[in-house]
Chain A
Amino acid sequence: SQQGEEDPQALSIQEGENATMNCSYKTSINNLQWYRQNSGRGLVHLILIRSNEREKHSGRLRVTLDTSKKSSSLLITASRAADTASYFCATTRRYSDRGSTLGRLYFGRGTQLTVWP
């Protein structure tokens, strides 16, 4: 399976603390993305890191990618109660279809983050 595996499955922290989630995968990838999902809602794209990148920042988010270990981490600094959500990593593989190059996502099982006020 190309699906990512995330750990921990659940993380509970206090506001102001940092939250770190990890993702491992099994095959080569074109990029790796992180998505956030509030309970019962659609997913929101957070950040994309390409296979030739090692680290990327976006606001309070920091993502690392180690292709030799086939792993990625998402760090949320100075967490807030509003960060409470499920976080999914998704690896991307490109494929060809009728002369076009397309991409599909393979989602990890997710980490449920709870941030207490």
Chain B
Amino acid sequence: DTEVTQTPKHLVMGMTNKKSLKCEQHMGHRAMYWYKQKAKKPPELMFVYSYEKLSINESVPSRFSPECPNSSLLNLHLHALQPEDSALYLCASSQGGGELAGNEQFFGPGTRLTVL
């Protein structure tokens, strides 16, 4: 199984809502990533998890809260978002550390988020 799945595919939420994005992979990858992508722009790294521990937080506002419950799952909890947070949120995974560090990342199809 070489697939990264993300749910939901689309999400519309109000600024007072709380919602969560989910990401799952069963490739045994130990590094997982959240990216945010605006239209016609490259993906921007938000968070990196390595061996279920937060490794990088790219100064993301606290209204985005990541969670890695186990090595296969990655969540992104959303609360009190702003309309400018509307974007495609991509999850990715890779094999992880050592000599494999920095190798290919496998991306999910993304969640299209709209904040009203």
Contacts and interface: CB of A to CB of B under 8 A. Distances in A.
A109 B55 contact: no
Interface in A33-71: 33, 35, 40-45, 48
B55 A108 contact: no
Given A94-B102, A102-B55, A104-B56, A43 B31 contact: no
A88 interface: yes
Given A41-B110, A42-B108, A43-B90, A103 B103 contact: yes
Interface string A89-117: 00011100110111111011110100000
Contact of A97 (B43, B55, B88, B110): B55
Contact of A45 (B41, B97, B104, B108): B104
B53 A107 contact: no
B102 A93 contact: yes
Contacts of A97: 50, 55-56
Interface residues of B, number: 31
A105 B55 contact: no
B48 interface: yes
Interface of A: 3, 30-31, 33, 35, 40-45, 48, 88, 92-94, 97-98, 100-105, 107-110, 112
B101 interface: yes
Which 10 pairs from chain A and chain B are nearest by CB? A103-B102, A107-B42, A92-B102, A42-B107, A103-B101, A100-B97, A43-B107, A45-B104, A42-B109, A101-B101
Contacts of B92: 43
B27 to A, nearest CB: 13
A42 B50 contact: no
A26 to B, nearest CB: 15
Interface in B55-81: 55-56
Nearest to A112: B40
B102 A104 contact: yes
Interface string B18-56: 000000000000010000000011110100101101011
B94 interface: yes
29 contacts: A30-B101, A31-B103, A33-B104, A35-B107, A40-B88, A41-B110, A42-B90, A43-B43, A43-B90, A45-B106, A48-B104, A88-B43, A97-B56, A98-B55, A102-B31, A102-B96, A102-B97, A102-B101, A102-B102, A103-B31, A103-B94, A103-B101, A104-B45, A105-B45, A107-B42, A107-B43, A109-B41, A110-B42, A112-B40
